[in-house]
Amino acid sequence: MDKYVGKTFEVYLLTTDTPLSGIAGKLISDTLKKSFPEKIVNVDIRTIKGLQVTDSQTFSDQGFFNLIDEVHSINNESTNTVLNISGGYKAVIPVLTLLAQLEEIIIYYIYEDSTELIEIGNLPINFDWGIIEKYVEIIKNNNKRNKADENLIQELRDLKLIKSENRDLSIVGELISRYAEKMSPYTAIIFGYLIEYKLVEYYAKLYGGEKVLHSYEPVKGLGDIDIFIKDKANTFIAVEIKPFNRLLSKNYMQTIRENYSKRIKPLINSENQISEIWLILYSYSKEKTDTKELHKSTKMMLSEYTEALKQDFGDDTFTFRVKHFFIHKNKLSSEKHIYQTFMKSSIKDNAVSDLFSSK
């Protein structure tokens, strides 16, 4: 505890939703202020609504999630947050432990009659995004989850991401939903840009560097084409790059279609025709033997999507392709980041596979 010598503290007392806990919080607050007037600069008592034991449904549906929200809020307000989980209901300890690991908060605990604090530091753990990648859009969207196929819902139940009795999120599912944007590598914009650069490098080797452009913007203000490839003297290939889970979102696919139309059409003329449109999807894997296949219903959707694209362009001669490649995690390696090996290496030949072709 030497690292806290000379430090001052703001204390947040999280009380359960009961009168006794409120009284206890007030007594502890007064004691802390009197006992450590130079150390404690502020004591804030916050009652966690629904965190009680008389109604188990309220406890699980409201109390747990309100507790998560409160800890998250405090951690955002403060620096060097620590959690003392010695007091309170034992049922909340596993949730607080998981939350602390994800938020990189140090935990302290006093065991039974011991007088010494036990420090629980941060372990190198996180959600396995390679497993839950395909479910993120469903988890984050109640409407999509309610309309999802029962087989997909069962997969979510098997992973304990939703409750067994309905389609509501479990505590772990709720954590994933709330932290997906912050923690998931495939929702990070910067990581997406880096993947684009890796693919530009890959196709520059195949077609020649002078024929491959990155973030090509034909008309200023309409957005760019992720990769533009001049495959022949009078034809070109337009490429969009997205995470694989975008295929689960019809709205997002519609947006991609609209972007294809407004960004590619200005390029087409008598001397410059579109030969192919590609949608390259990437996903994450721990095993190099993994393969990716599309469900029959997804292939049917893409066939309809192709017809819509051809109507948009008034052209049925080009080919629409959906391609895929895996981003593999480091295994036994000294690398500090799980995708560092991927970023340091070139994409290998045949690493990008065809999932769908309109011809």
Q: Which residue has the tokens 């998981």?
A: 98
Which residues is 356 bridged to in the sheet? 322
Within 8 A by CB and 6+ apart from 329, the residues are: 130, 284, 285, 286, 338, 339
Which residues is 357 bridged to in the sheet? 321
Q: Which pLDDT tens digit goes with each residue over 293-347?
A: 888 888 899 999 999 999 999 888 899 999 998 887 655 444 445 566 777 788 8
Do residues 15 and 25 make contact, with C-beta atoms less than 8 angstroms apart?
yes
Query: What residue ranges do the domains of the chain occupy?
Result: 2-120, 129-183, 187-357
Which residues is 107 bridged to in the sheet? 83, 120
pTM of the model: 0.54
- The three-point CA angle 206-210-216 to 5° equals 100
Q: Which residues of the chain have pLDDT under 70?
A: 1-2, 78-79, 88, 124-134, 178-190, 248, 286-289, 329-340
Phi, psi of 231, deg, nearest 5: -80, -30
Q: Which pLDDT tens digit goes with each residue over 266-302?
A: 888 878 899 999 999 988 776 666 778 888 888 899 9
User: What type of residue is 340?
Assistant: Q
Q: What is the rounded distance in angstroms from the CA atom of residue 164 to the CA atom of residue 119? A: 35
Phi, psi of 114, deg, nearest 5: -65, 155
* Nearest CA-CA partner of 15 in 76, 92, 79, 77: 92
Q: Which residues in 146-159 are b (16+ Cβ under 10 Å) and which e?
A: eebeeeebebbbeb
CATH topology of domain 2-120: Rossmann fold (3.40.50)
Q: What is the rounded distance in angstroms from the CA atom of residue 354 to the CA atom of residue 359? A: 12
DSSP 336: S
Please provide the distance, in angstroms rounded to a whole number, between the alpha carbons at the two ends of the chain: 67
